């Protein structure tokens, strides 16, 4: 007998679907036209994480990076692994509009691959079709490695301008996409993009923002800052950008440009390596001041590699101040 699942979206909309005991909640939702955020469908990426408010269910297999034991204890679930055992209410961390938006698949040509540092690449794609890829700044797409059936997730690091969009990509030694971009890619090569995806996007600015970036986790923030530069912010926006080595610090000129254009915007960059020549040393958490947390009247956005996201998560939980909202994205390696 099918069970009834109520999805509560963050814009207050509630939608009901039916799910049989044998199908996952995510599959049932898609079958009935509710496009829950979803990527690997394999319990590996954490994209489909929601809060199960009530109702019995069982979970399939997943890894700790996708859903930690602490999150599971607090009622979070991966809908790609969740099977209902009765009627359930599930809170979805996205708006109903985002969940109804169908994914687009478009092709675009490489206009530039730039090596910003030994560890970091910038990729720019161009095609008139990119204008159809409506995304919210902070979201990501799956990019197919040309000539293979492999895809990798990358956050947009810019908005689409004149049919061009950019990405900030870590050069992983031996990596499929990294190897293609550093060894084979030529201007004009076509790449396939599928998306947009993800619930990590800039919400309406209703209070000060604290943006925390680790490494190429800077990407979604430069896209968000382009939007803020165009529309302004009534509240202060502070970015702390941390990397491991001096050579990993990229796009500092871009950040300085945002600071010049956005009156309320400030930023600090820090380098963790003890042999760094950069004046600000240490991790992102060393540079979070009580004023940035504003007694909790702050929206925090956090993005970077899983260990950095976990460490900052822990710091925020233990610092005794509960932010009004807290959004994070882990740049997990592909399953």
Ligand X SMILES: Cc1cc2nc3c(=O)[nH]c(=O)nc-3n(C[C@H](O)[C@H](O)[C@H](O)COP(=O)(O)OP(=O)(O)OC[C@H]3O[C@@H](n4cnc5c(N)ncnc54)[C@H](O)[C@@H]3O)c2cc1C
Binding residues (CB under 6 A) for ligand FES: these are 38-48, 66, 78, 80
Give the one entry of ligand X, ligand FES, none that residue 301 binds, where binding means its C-beta sits below a cut-off of 5 to 8 angstroms depending on kind: none
For helices 219-231 and 252-261, what crossing angle results, to 10°?
A: 20
The helix/strand/coil state of 302 is strand
In terms of Cβ atoms closer than 10 Å to its own Cβ (0-12, 13-18, 19+), residue 290 is exposed
Residue 227 CB, shortest distance to ligand X, in Å, is: 17
Give the one entry of ligand FES, ligand X, none that residue 43 binds, where binding means its C-beta sits below a cut-off of 5 to 8 angstroms depending on kind: ligand FES
111 vs 264 by CB, closer to ligand X: 111
* CA gap 317, 165 in Å, rounded: 35
Residue 60 CB, shortest distance to ligand FES, in Å, is: 10
Two tokens, residue 222: 């430069």
ω before 10 within 30° of 0 (cis)? no
ω before 196 within 30° of 0 (cis)? yes
Residue 125 CB, shortest distance to ligand X, in Å, is: 13
Q: Which candidate, 316, 190, 22, places its Cα nearest to that of 327?
A: 316
First-last CA distance in the chain: 33
218 vs 228 by CB, closer to ligand X: 218
Residue 44 CB, shortest distance to ligand FES, in Å, is: 5
154 vs 201 by CB, closer to ligand X: 154
CA 323 to chain centre: 19
Residue 335 CB, shortest distance to ligand FES, in Å, is: 8
262 vs 303 by CB, closer to ligand FES: 303
17 vs 193 by CB, closer to ligand X: 193
Give the one entry of ligand FES, ligand X, none that residue 40 binds, where binding means its C-beta sits below a cut-off of 5 to 8 angstroms depending on kind: ligand FES
47 vs 216 by CB, closer to ligand FES: 47
Give the one entry of ligand FES, ligand X, none that residue 38 binds, where binding means its C-beta sits below a cut-off of 5 to 8 angstroms depending on kind: ligand FES
Bridge partners of 327?
A: 301
Give the one entry of ligand X, ligand FES, none that residue 110 binds, where binding means its C-beta sits below a cut-off of 5 to 8 angstroms depending on kind: none
44 vs 193 by CB, closer to ligand FES: 44
128 vs 172 by CB, closer to ligand X: 172
Bridge partners of 89?
A: 6, 54
Q: How far is CA 113 from CA 57, 173, 222, 246, 309, in A?
A: 46, 17, 18, 21, 27
Residue 152 CB, shortest distance to ligand X, in Å, is: 4
Give the one entry of ligand X, ligand FES, none that residue 211 binds, where binding means its C-beta sits below a cut-off of 5 to 8 angstroms depending on kind: none
* CA gap 240, 330 in Å, rounded: 16
Q: List residues near ligand X by CB under 6 A.
A: 45, 140, 152-155, 167-170, 172, 174-178, 198, 216, 219, 305, 329, 331-334
Residue 211 CB, shortest distance to ligand FES, in Å, is: 24
Two tokens, residue 161: 């301008």
Give the one entry of ligand X, ligand FES, none that residue 248 binds, where binding means its C-beta sits below a cut-off of 5 to 8 angstroms depending on kind: none
Edge to edge, the sheet with strand 76-78 lists 14-19, 3-9, 88-92, 49-54, 76-78
Give the one entry of ligand X, ligand FES, none that residue 251 binds, where binding means its C-beta sits below a cut-off of 5 to 8 angstroms depending on kind: none
Question: For residues 77 and 13, is the Cβ–Cβ distance under 8 A?
Answer: no
């Amino acid at each position: 007998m099918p069970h009834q699942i109520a999805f509560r979206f963050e814009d207050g909309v509630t939608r009901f679907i039916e799910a049989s005991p044998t199908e996952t909640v995510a599959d049932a939702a898609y079958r009935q036209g509710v496009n829950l955020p979803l990527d690997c469908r394999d319990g590996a990426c954490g994209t489909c994480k929601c809060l199960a408010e009530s109702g019995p269910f069982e979970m399939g297999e997943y890894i700790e990076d996708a859903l930690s034991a602490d999150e599971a204890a607090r009622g979070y679930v991966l809908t790609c692994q969740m099977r209902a055992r009765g009627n359930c209410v599930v809170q979805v961390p996205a708006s109903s509009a985002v969940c109804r938006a169908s994914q687009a698949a478009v092709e675009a040509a490489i206009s530039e691959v730039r090596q910003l540092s030994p560890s970091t690449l910038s990729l720019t794609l161009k095609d008139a079709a990119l204008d159809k890829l409506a995304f919210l700044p902070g979201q990501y797409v799956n990019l197919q490695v040309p000539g293979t059936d492999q895809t990798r997730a990358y956050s947009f690091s810019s908005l689409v301008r004149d049919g061009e969009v950019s990405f900030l990509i870590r050069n992983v030694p031996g990596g499929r996409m990294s190897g293609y971009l550093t060894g084979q890619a030529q201007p004009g090569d076509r790449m396939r993009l599928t998306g947009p995806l993800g619930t990590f996007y800039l919400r309406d600015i209703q209070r000060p923002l604290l943006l925390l970036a680790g490494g190429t986790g800077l990407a979604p923030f430069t896209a968000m800052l382009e939007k803020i530069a165009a529309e302004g912010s009534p509240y202060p926006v502070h970015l702390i950008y941390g990397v491991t080595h001096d050579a990993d610090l990229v796009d500092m000129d871009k950040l300085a440009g945002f600071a010049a254009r956005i009156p309320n915007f400030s930023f600090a960059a820090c380098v963790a390596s003890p042999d760094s020549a950069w004046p600000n040393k240490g991790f992102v958490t060393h540079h979070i001041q009580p004023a940035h947390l504003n007694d909790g009247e702050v929206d925090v956005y956090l993005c970077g590699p899983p260990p950095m996201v976990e460490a900052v998560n822990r710091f925020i939980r233990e610092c005794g101040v509960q932010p009004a909202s807290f959004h994070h994205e882990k740049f997990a390696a592909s399953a």
